[in-house]
A and B are shown apart, each in its own frame.
Chain A
Amino acid sequence: MSTSKFGEYGGQYVPEALMPAVEELTDAYERYVRGNEDGFMDEFRRRLRDFGGRPTPLQRAEQLSARYDSEVYLKREDLVHGGAHKLNNALGQVLLAKYMGKERIVAETGAGQHGTATAMAAAHLGMPCEVYMGERDINRQRPNVFRMRLNGTEVTPVTAGRGTLKEAINETMRDWATNVEDTHYVIGSIVGPHPFPRMVRDFQSVISEEAREQVRERAGRLPDSVVACAGGGSNTMGVFHEFVGDADVDLYAVEAGGSSLDVDEEAGVAPNSASLSTGDEGVLHGARTKLLQDSDGQVMESHSVSSGLDYAGVGPELAHLVDEGRVTPATVDDDAALEAFHRLSQEEGIIPALETAHAFAFAHEHPDELGDVTVINVSGRGDKDLESVIEESAERDLDAAPDMDAFAGGGL
């Protein structure tokens, strides 16, 4: 049996009504995912290939390699069906729900990428699906809301708090607690009670399985560093997992530094989402982990220009690997992420998700940490973010941006 803890982190802190479901899921995880019972993992991999478009390429980034004077490789998860790594997990979980005989899917979403991935997987596998999304995130990510609807998913707005990912998770847990007997909760990152953090990581670790092989083929060696953005941390652990045992490979988890690393205790707001870098140990959404909280233990509202990173917690496995010194946390602020968004779009012809742009901004700010060979995980593409980027860029003086006022005014 896989343990429920990563060092001190993890566990199962959920209302009693959910404990039997969590136990049932643990059993299903052990049998189907770890044991490949009934050929579950074979079917998952086949569907990832045929429906999901895997394997994704590992591309050498020519401009970035020249700029940083090192070999920079991009793991192109933006090319997965739906445009983000999120499908790897959503497809795995919806398929598992089917093997378990569940009849309905619920999910939360922040950037909407997990919601669209779940909606697509649910449509693909013929399961009804409802997705909870913070009202603020609905406004930031309208294309994804529309995509979910197109796939036949119901999108339910959540108005509590600041209307972001944390509140959407609370609301989905409430739905799950009400309908637990026939419903599976497809959680969108390596967070939540055991077995979710391990299971989601297992589904996402296909990224590093491929990347490790591909980089050896292309560069003839393992990379010196692997860089990924971290919200909950699923693309992060996905691209790190197979490298964790390679002690010489440095692993950088890049969090949203937002507008500042300072917090306003009085208002209960952190103007960032940097729980690995600045959070304290606590219990949120079913797991002990690092989180943004005040001195009383009230969880703070977080902030990031990218809704997928806008979360007060982080996966317990990442928290543990940071304590162990195996993963190095870093932060990048909103402005730098937006700059990186524009730079990458122009220089490499890749429009990254705002989440992903954080990883590129880190590389830009810390070229010396990269070593000779680097893998950067392109967790998703930025189509969903265009409206936000126009608005956010127009408010700032960004070197790399085209004239955003022109877009904002409707002209070109």
Chain B
Amino acid sequence: MSRIDEAFADGPAFIPYLAVGDPDYESSKAYVEALARGGADVIELGLPFSEPVAEGPTIQGAVTRALDAGMTPDRYFEFVEELDVDVPLVCMTYYNLIYQYTAGDDRREGPRPFVERAAEAGIEGFVVPDLPAEEADPLREACDDHGLDLVFIVAPTTEGDRLDRIMERVSGYVYVQARLGVTGARGDVSGQTDEALARLTEWDVPKAVGFGIKTGEHAERIVAGGADGIIVGSALVDIVAEGHEANRPVDEVAADLEAKARELAEGAAAGYAQRVPEPERT
């Protein structure tokens, strides 16, 4: 059982996302650690790429701030090594950075040097939004050799053969995209989620729903509807962005993130309680 599997073993997993280095290295570390204190079960750490085509304006802004502040793949791995958290970490990035990475004298091309370095730094898995199952075998093999998970996204449009291709390659969890489009917090949570979950009932990998989740109530509803986990990015990045713009002290923003994380984790737990009947008292 991988550490990511364990995170889903008892109860729903709350999976927050932040872009590493947003708005700067040190603040970003405080923010990620705050999420862990707030009840994160897995954390998705975004490695900023200059062309974040799957992201909406919120995360695009975070990525731009982090890049402007000097984030690079090597700095990212140092960040992961320095983090003081005890939850499995998933690296969320785009394929070009994985493909280009060379470590020191290691000039080999392709995903292997990146995966080796990530494993050494303590990463447990990857989400790569621009790498569909069709192009993913080299990364899948490198992950297998290092015991890392490779998470795939299932979109509302994903059907038929594509579902099978993803099912054959996915591990850790499947990222169920709750609605079409790009990332971003929403006031409502789409009914496309239920349909997507229904298509995946046979899959024996945990199903984590993301895209648009903003509140504890959303989390509750989605977990009550059958999700094994929730992924929340933009609603948390918004807190970082607003704190940055208002020049607020890092520990205050961290406290807000921790509180928001707790709200979401508790919402997920409440949703789970509605699914699992209370054990009978004797």
Contact = CB atoms under 8 A, between A and B. Distances in A.
Interface in B39-56: 49-54, 56
Contacts of B54: 15, 177
A11 interface: yes
Given A180-B157, A282-B96, A296-B73, A19 B132 contact: yes
A283 B130 contact: yes
Contacts of B159: 20
B152 interface: yes
A274 interface: no
B180 A20 contact: no
A293 B135 contact: no
B75 to A, nearest CB: 10
Contacts of A297: 49, 73, 96-97, 99-101
A160 B65 CA distance: 12
A264 interface: no
B169 to A, nearest CB: 12
A293 B100 contact: yes
B32 interface: no
Contacts of B181: 17, 174, 177-178
A378 to B, nearest CB: 32
Contacts of B156: 17
A173 interface: yes
Interface residues of A, number: 34
Interface in B144-197: 152-159, 162, 166, 177, 180-182
Interface in A1-40: 11-17, 19-21, 23
Interface string A305-326: 0000000000000000000000
Contacts of A174: 53, 56, 181-182
Contacts of B51: 166, 170, 284-285, 299
A181 to B, nearest CB: 7
A339 B253 CA distance: 56
A299 B96 contact: yes
A128 B131 CA distance: 31
A279 to B, nearest CB: 12
A59 interface: no
B191 to A, nearest CB: 15
Contacts of B130: 13-15, 283, 286
Contacts of B135: 11-13
A214 interface: no
Contacts of A20: 155, 157-159, 162
A19 B166 CA distance: 12
A179 interface: yes
A50 to B, nearest CB: 36
Given A170-B51, A174-B181, A296-B72, A16 B100 contact: no
B95 A180 contact: no
Interface string B52-92: 11101000100010010000111000000000000000000
Contacts of A299: 50-51, 96
B129 interface: yes
Contacts of A285: 51, 53
A268 interface: yes
B10 interface: no
B97 A15 contact: no
Nearest to A172: B53
A17 B100 contact: no
Contacts of B73: 296-297
A16 B53 CA distance: 12
Contact of A17 (B49, B74, B95, B157): B157
Contacts of B64: 160
B167 to A, nearest CB: 13
Given A14-B132, A19-B158, A160-B60, A296 B100 contact: yes
A166 B51 CA distance: 9
Nearest to B114: A297
A285 B95 CA distance: 11
B252 interface: no
B96 A15 contact: no
Nearest to B54: A15
A139 interface: no
Contacts of A298: 49-50, 67, 97
* Chain A CB within 10 A, most for which of B64, B135, B152, B162: B135
Interface in A137-178: 160, 166, 170, 173-174, 177-178
A176 B274 CA distance: 37
B202 interface: no
B158 to A, nearest CB: 6
Contact of A13 (B131, B152, B155, B166): B131
Given A19-B158, A298-B50, 18 more contacts: A11-B135, A12-B132, A12-B134, A14-B53, A17-B158, A20-B159, A160-B64, A166-B51, A173-B53, A177-B54, A178-B181, A181-B157, A181-B180, A283-B130, A285-B53, A286-B130, A299-B50, A299-B96
Interface of A: 11-17, 19-21, 23, 160, 166, 170, 173-174, 177-181, 268, 280, 282-286, 293, 295-299
Q: Which 5 A-B pairs have the closest CB atoms?
A: A297-B100, A178-B181, A17-B155, A283-B96, A298-B50
13 contacts: A16-B162, A17-B156, A17-B177, A19-B158, A166-B51, A174-B53, A178-B181, A179-B180, A181-B157, A283-B130, A284-B51, A284-B96, A286-B130
